[in-house]
Amino acid sequence: MGRRKPEYLDRRLLEAEAKTDKRLVELDVKNEKRFAEADIKNEKRFAETNTNFEKRLAEYHSSQLKWMFAFFIGNIVTLPGFLITCMQLVKP
């Protein structure tokens, strides 16, 4: 039983490197596929979140307009009453 020749080791190293390269390429393909799927999911979630946000914003805006209108009407009704009261207090 003699020593193995360096050519045998070189060939084994080349085979191992080829296997590793093949695995890396396969992993790159899998990772790219996963990243693409994740991007699609993220875009979908972002669109849903954006839609929900726009919906809530519209609800808050309509609520704000309702209260602004209520305060405007309240001011219109209150101001003449306040002026009449002040005029009666000032009147001798």
Cα–Cα distance measured from residue 63 to residue 79, given in angstroms and rounded to the nearest whole number: 24
Give me the number of domains the chain comprises: 1
Cα–Cα distance measured from residue 27 to residue 31, given in angstroms and rounded to the nearest whole number: 6
Cα–Cα distance measured from residue 41 to residue 33, given in angstroms and rounded to the nearest whole number: 12
Enclosing domain of residue 64: 1-92
Buried b (16+ CB within 10 A) or exposed e, 42-52: eeeeeeeeeee
Instruction: Compute the average pLDDT of residues 74-89.
Output: 90
The two three-digit tokens of residue 19, written as one number: 């296997």
pLDDT given at position 3: 63
The per-residue pLDDT for range 19-72, each reduced to its tens digit, is 999 999 999 999 999 999 999 999 999 999 999 999 999 999 999 999 999 999
4 pLDDT tier (thresholds 50, 70, 90): low
Which residue has 């972002």 as its token pair?
Answer: 46
